[in-house]
Amino acid sequence: MALLEGRISLVTGASRGIGRAIAKALAAEGAQVVLAARDTAKLADAVAEITGAGGRARPWRWTWPTAPRGSRDGPGLSAHGRLDHLVNNAAWPATTCSCA
């Protein structure tokens, strides 16, 4: 049995880079991974890569600024009833930041 078998993991910024690598590693250890990202095409590619390798993954197109307010209704909680891990990897998009 894999280390994370039966666990539900949500990874933000999971369509590329570090987030994608983390999602792949969690899936390789048996977790059901919810990949959250803005880019639908890259998100689909990441999910296909994980499921093609035998992992369990589902996409969640997550956009700012609505994502933080709507997070409780995402596929991690609604589909599985719980969330065991959250990897908050997503960067804050510069286009929505009003810190200048």
pLDDT score of 94 more than 80: no
**Mean pLDDT across the stretch 54-64?**
87
Instruction: Quote the pLDDT of residue 18.
Output: 96
Instruction: Quote the pLDDT of residue 76.
Output: 55
The model's pLDDT over 25-35, given as tens digits with 9 standing for 90+, comes to 999 999 999 99
| DSSP assigned state of 90 | P
Beta bridge mates, 33: 9, 57
Question: Which residue did the predictor score with more confidence, 5 or 64?
Answer: 5
Tell me the domains of the chain and their CATH numbers.
8-92 (3.40.50.720)
| Chain length of the chain | 100
Strands 85-87 and 56-61, bridge-based pairing: unpaired
Instruction: Quote the pLDDT of residue 2.
Output: 83
Strands 56-61 and 32-37, bridge-based pairing: parallel
Residue entry with tokens 């369990």: 56
d(CA 3, CA 60): 24
Instruction: Quote the pLDDT of residue 90.
Output: 85
pTM: 0.80
**Mean pLDDT across the stretch 32-51?**
95
